[in-house]
Structure 1
């Protein structure tokens, strides 16, 4: 019998990327009293989880409409049917909000999701309050209202049904072709000047999009959705966002041209924002997927932010400052003029004249019907 110690297998580090996920990092919530750091000590006991499943929980908050008074946001209210987003966009500025739930802005944000089973009922009660004053409500200001779980849960559709009943204006922002499922509702809203749709298209490079936005529709599928919406009479715009200098900005003019050809009437562009934990998540993603370009991209972002990777000041956070940011805005303006598209800000001005408070109980008949 040999006295030799059996040779141990070579340590296996966690995978550089997880299938269908935007990041493999899962840093602790910044509100936790303690933080943990993964260390490879050579004693892997099992295979790393390369396919973490999506988990769904209940959002028990009692309010449905979020209000803001930011001077650089062209709307003052929004509804987000879901917390977290399965699209997994690595650049998503909403990721840090998951820390408020005691969860990670990393992998948790795209696999531990929350929904309101009574979202439509909550909205109905909010709109029925005597002191409510209608104005354009945005669906998708934080997370995508048409992310994959919407196909099963239908929260966004139920919200649209309430808005249609109340004749309430709504603007939808998405990067999903699932919005086409609700064309009948959108047509009715559009007939009363009550709806606009913004399709977010970051790049036309399918491989880059797959890595940036792993569970979102492909860029070409989104352009076809723009065409279908426009052909159905839905006022549709395109958000060329986020602009990531050195990575996606080379597609800016081509996206505007393709959007115009598809029937879009307006377009907008916002500079990439990297608040809080997002700086490290995005930097890690760059070094994993595009190591030779990472330093250049991060340098260009810093040049747009006067040194840091992020700036939160009103008036600067959406567009940046300095020569690089100014050039991006100049290029975008020229592309809009070349294709006769309006700026995206015009898409938020929808009519609220037809608003009528919905019945708190949907079974109750209206006096005016």
Structure 2
């Protein structure tokens, strides 16, 4: 009952017009916002067994982990990107860089998914990379240029029609003439202040000088935040190139985020970044810096008009650090409490491939961060990618899920050692 009432309360916050006789035929989103049916009845289901799943399991046999840990196939999920685990543990929502959002269900709780099907199949998504849940069960999906809200998603997802509302309309996240095919994989998280934080990667390798100020004002090349009703938008973070992962420290509440750095400068520069933000409005150096302390060729020698915050941890160049999460579970050994697990996707811009692994970052009492490999082996002896991790999310039992958009899978990493 509480879930249904929450959905009704959202209808008050985000009213959608009822359609009079003779009006234009409403879109499916408008119908769902009015709690009306769309007529869509079919789901796309993803086969979870067979030769394809067996091939993924063979790849997982080569993955190395610290003693006591194991990795297993959790679900076959095509193009799997960022992960949002429902607060009730009923469903896991997985975004993609294409047109699908997937719902993943483990009905018998054997820690292997039983069902993968498309979420809200009547809706047309555009790069729905970034799903995130609020603690009270509201699902947000950050697309290329829109943010949708699905109240009570864990209740409604079983059917093709789900309660759905527009939080940020198309063209209001970024101007439509700034839409790009590049660096538009948004991510979102709900902060400890009860606001939604959305990454806004800028589309260029290095931002042209004539766009720098406009992008800073709009939050492109930054992280924005707003209230959960879509009001009170502000630019929280500036001076980043393309962050595709952020989370909040469980104790301090500080925002930490990954950042992908400039290509084309050589195999070993500039470094990737894991950043720590301690106050609103901090600037992290881009486009004057390409990563770490390495200046970009385009802005070399120019004075930087901001105080720049240096990375908390530098990572290997071109490994493409993406999704991340702080570990708060009880399954893993105590040393992993409040550590960051993050995914390195691997880069096209290196003569010898690196990345394609899960990293762990330990943070000491002074805030010093140290990053090291945790799970690796998705690059074989020939330099071929066998998988490309994208995101990490913590399950209710304390294990973690890792998404892989090359293999099209979710992996579950658990601990069974002493």
TM-score (norm 1): 0.29
Higher percent of residues as helix: 1
With a CA cutoff of 8 Å and minimum separation of 6, indicate the structure with the bigger relative contact order: 1
Q: Which has the higher strand share?
A: 2
User: What's the TM-score once normalised by structure 2's chain length?
Assistant: 0.26
Structure number with bigger Rg: 1
